[in-house]
Amino acid sequence: MRSEDRVNQSTQPRRDFLLSCASNLHLAKSAIGKNTLRATARLLNGKSTAGVTAALASCGCLSESNPERPQKVWGRRGFSPGRFLKPRAITIDEQDRLYIVDTTGRIQVFDTEGNFLHQWKTPQTQNGRPTGLAFGAGQKRSSSTKSSEVQHDPDGNDPRIFVADTHYYRILSYTLKGETVTEESIGGVAGIGPGEFAFVTDIACDRFGCRYIGEYNASDRIQKFDAEGNFLCQWGGTGRNPGSFVRPQSLVIQEDVLWVVDSCNHRIQRFDISVTPPRLIDIWGQAGSANGEFFYPYDLAIASDGSVVVIEYKNNRLQRFSSSGEWIASWGGPGFEPGKLNQPWGVVVDSKDRVHILDSNNHRIQRIELPT
């Protein structure tokens, strides 16, 4: 047997595997350029095993060698279960179940592998669709005020999914099964008075059960309510000065710190909520596309090590920061292929520190490792 035949025979299984991998990932359709494709084809002739691995890693075929590629991409445009029409918000519960609302008003529930579990829908969508979701505990109530329709934890710690029903000026409360808890809703009246709302953006709950609700348009402010839904205080107002907001799009609480994604001011503001009214701690970011700058940030999430990931609607990327605000890494960029984003709205981090990105105008979810 000629040496050339022996080489071809010994490398054929590896070549077949790599060619299959390349085919399955549609390398010909990816934005890697004709020169890279030609180089990969030459390497697949068996002349360089190491070169084949490097070339395919650069194309994203070997995900373990390329942290830029997502771990998983799922979802597509549509109305049936498991499909989305411009998903607007995402939250995650203690069992790592993902709750996603899109512009149909559906709230769909999935596991972290993208398997559909169940769904429900908000009662009205004619005026507009929800833009915020949060996981938290239900209100504490005496037995005389408990609903006859929904069973309650006797200690008042019922897990809830709260929906920012933006264009109906209210927060809706649901059990994890999608049962409406009418008595726990807040708002419903348009206005600028206490307990009234403009366009509601998001809600966050602290360890005492207090609710913090953001709104924009007529009043860019945050209102605080106690665990029974009673108004306590408000702060903010439309403006660009520290402590003011222009569309506070997302709220996240960790211990006694409230993070506010001040979207149209292109910044993050942090508040100490152990005092009343809450005290401004610091401000992160400014308008721009450089590392550490923001262009319409829409959501953030906090990892187990305290680092923070921020998703940007207009920069089409995710940035990671240390707990003190130092830039660590970025991920994404505008586009349609896996690893690229198209006007993302939301982000959560699960118990394994995997990041789930709501790639809204691509009608899908992308799961990645924490960028490093």
Residues 6+ apart with CB under 8 A from 118: 108, 109, 177, 178
Residue 65, pLDDT > 80, answer: no
Lowest mean pLDDT among 28-42, 182-196, 238-252, 274-288: 28-42
Residue 357 has what pLDDT?
98
Lowest-confidence pick of 29-43, 59-73, 209-223: 29-43
User: Residues 343, 311: contact at Cβ < 8 Å?
Assistant: no
User: 141 or 202: whose pLDDT is higher?
Assistant: 202
- What pLDDT score does 156 carry? 55
Task: Please identify, in words, the CATH class of the domain defined by 72-368.
Answer: mainly beta
Higher pLDDT, 57 or 273: 273
Q: What is the pLDDT of residues 90-146, one digit of tens each?
A: 999 999 999 999 999 999 999 999 999 999 999 999 999 999 999 998 876 544 344
49 falls in which pLDDT band (50, 70, 90)?
very low
pLDDT of residue 198: 96
Query: Whose structure tokens read 């691509």?
Result: 362
Q: How far is residue 15's CA from residue 243's CA, in Å, rounded to a whole number?
A: 60
The pLDDT, as a whole number, for residue 339 is: 97
Q: Residues with Cβ < 8 Å from 124, sequence gap 6 or more?
A: 105, 165, 168
Task: Write down the pLDDT at residue 196.
Answer: 98
Mean pLDDT of the chain: 85
- What pLDDT does 67 receive? 63
Distances (CA, A) of 9 to 5, 297, 304: 6, 54, 49
Per DSSP bridges, beta strands 72-74 and 364-368 are antiparallel
Over range 285-308, report the average pLDDT.
98
Contact between 202 and 164 under an 8 Å Cβ cutoff? The reply is yes
What are the distances in angstroms from CA 154 to CA 146, 150, 157? 10, 12, 8
DSSP state letter for 143? G
How large is the average pLDDT for residues 205-230? 96
Write out the two tokens for 52. 């084949």
Q: Among positive and negative, which fits the CA dihedral 126, 128, 133, 139?
A: negative
**For residues 322 and 57, which has the higher predicted lDDT (pLDDT)?**
322
What is the per-residue pLDDT across 143-187, written as a single tens digit (0 to 9) for each? 434 443 555 555 557 999 999 999 999 999 999 999 999 999 999
With a cut of 70, say whether residue 59 has pLDDT above it.
no
- Do 267 and 317 touch, CB atoms closer than 8 A? no
Kindly state the percentage of the chain with pLDDT values over 90.
Answer: 76
**Per-residue model confidence as pLDDT tens digits over 310-322:** 999 999 999 999 9
pLDDT at residue number 291: 98
- State pTM to two decimals: 0.81
Share of the chain above pLDDT 70, in %: 77
Mean pLDDT, residues 221-237 taken together: 96
Backbone angles phi, psi at 65, to 5 degrees: -100, -5
Region 282-287: what's the mean pLDDT?
98
Which band of pLDDT confidence, cut at 50, 70 and 90, is reported for residue 25?
Answer: very low
Question: In degrees rounded to 5, what are phi and psi of residue 20?
Answer: -65, -40
In the chain, domain spans? 3-65, 72-368
